[in-house]
Amino acid sequence: MRLRISLPSFSKALSTVPSKRTPFPTAVQELTSFLRDGRPNITILTGAGVSTDSAIPDYRGENGTYTLNPDYKPVFYQAFVRSDDARHRYWARSFLGFPPVMTTQPNPTHYALAALQAQQTSSTHQPGQDQDHTHKDHLGYVRTLITQNVDGLHQKAGTKDIIELHGTLHRVKCMSCGHERDRSEFQQILADLNPNWNEMIQSNTTSSLYSRMNADGDVELNTAGQQDLHSKNLRQRILDYHTFQYPTCSNCGSGHYKPSVVFFGENVPKAVKERSMQTVLEADGLLVVGTSLATYSAFRLVKLAKDAGIPIALINLGYSRGDALADLRYDESSTHLLKAVANELGLGEIPGLVKKHFQHTLNVIGS
């Protein structure tokens, strides 16, 4: 069976907070026990909610993409493949949206999850010895992390053995020959092809060019009104994404680059699907964090765990499609709960909250 990413939709009746909320101290103790029981073979599944404290919006939270803009329509795979217009639109928006993705930093949720995976150390001091000896003799709690996110923040936080279910924004790949290149390198190519657009980024005027940042790393452009891309007043420029240029493949000379992410309407690669399913089946516990599980590619992993009798703990603010499948369900901020659990487990200090706002980040890119 192929896994195709479809546009998620929930009825308003379902999008509600669970009726029974576990007291926070109880949640900390229960989740701590869950991790100890499954150590060292816990698998984690994360979604957009883990990155909201890094100021990357989620999809269905209070300030989510679909919450604030119910009419939002992402670029679909078939449109990107077939339509030059769709590619102009995508790369124009991505050009403005990628710089803050590069500079955004992990938040305590990312660091707490990395700490759960890291091999724990202990120190001993023997009589007659001048120094303590550090031993890496305690396994971590987590073996593998599966993420739906494409922002790369788990890697920045130090997590290893990551399965990127929906790919990554940090690479691009030719749809014809498969040639790959780094997205930061590709950003410079786009800048060279589009000096007028790049001038606005370098002049710190980007905040007037878009209405909001979306969870997939692009922006919604302000395209209303008379196009004046060459206005001397940068803040009065109205952008038309049809003017945005993008390159053909430097390897085959004719193919078009696509971000290495799974678009809506596109299939999850078979190898990724099979590895994620096998990882879940081999786990002694599944911890789900920050996701409504709207996409079937993620929901089926939770269902797979349930059918296999694998214990499931779920942390998410608001409704999740997996609520009825979870053995433990917490309607809590993952930042607060996981920091408390990390403290209970003696994992050391989790870095504090550094919440950046994309508008501010874009404003300082050229500084």
Q: What is the DSSP string of 70-128?
A: TT--PPBHHHHHH-HHHHHHHHHHHHHHHHHHHH----HHHHHHHHHHSPEEEEE--TT
pLDDT at position 210: 52
Instruction: Fill in the amino acid letter for 184.
Output: S
What confidence score (pLDDT) does residue 132 get? 52
Enumerate the H helices of the chain as residue ranges.
24-38, 65-68, 77-82, 84-103, 108-117, 153-157, 183-193, 195-202, 270-281, 296-307, 334-344, 358-363
Residues recognised as catalytic = 166
| Residue 177 known to bind ligand | yes
Q: Can you state the percent helix, strand and coil of the chain, rounding each to 5?
A: 40, 20, 45
**What is the pTM assigned to this prediction?**
0.82
What are the chain's domains? Answer: 1-9+20-56+107-119+134-166+267-367 (3.40.50.1220), 72-103+167-261 (no CATH)
- What is the C-alpha separation between 82 and 300, in angstroms, rounded? 29
Q: State the CB neighbour count (10 A cutoff) for residue 25.
A: 9
141-177 tens-digit pLDDT: 999 999 999 999 999 999 999 999 999 999 999 999 9
37 marked as binding residue: no
The pLDDT, as a whole number, for residue 59 is: 54
Task: Determine the pLDDT at residue 75.
Answer: 85
Q: Mapping DSSP to helix (H, G, I), strand (E, B) and coil, where does residue 15 land? A: coil
* Token pair 């014809």: residue: 176
Contacts of residue 33, Cβ cutoff 8 Å, sequence gap at least 6: none
How crowded is the C-beta side of 284, counted as CA atoms within 13 Å? 13
Return per-residue pLDDT of the chain as tens, 367 residues. Answer: 455 555 555 444 444 455 578 999 999 999 999 999 999 999 999 999 999 999 888 655 455 444 444 565 778 999 999 999 999 999 999 998 898 889 999 999 999 999 999 975 555 445 555 555 444 445 899 999 999 999 999 999 999 999 999 999 999 999 999 999 999 999 999 999 999 888 877 775 555 555 455 555 555 555 543 344 444 444 444 567 888 999 999 999 999 999 999 999 999 999 999 999 999 999 999 999 999 999 999 999 999 999 999 999 999 999 999 999 999 999 999 999 999 999 999 999 998 754 444 333 333 222 2
Is there a cis peptide before residue 40, judged by omega within 30 degrees of 0? yes
Sign of the torsion formed by the C-alpha atoms of 284, 290, 296 and 299: positive
pLDDT at position 197, please? 87
Sheet holding 42-46, edge to edge: 162-164, 142-147, 42-46, 285-289, 312-315, 328-330
| 152 belongs to an annotated ligand binding site | no
Helix (H) or strand (E) holding 135: strand 133-138
To the question of whether residue 77 is assigned a binding role by annotation, the answer is no
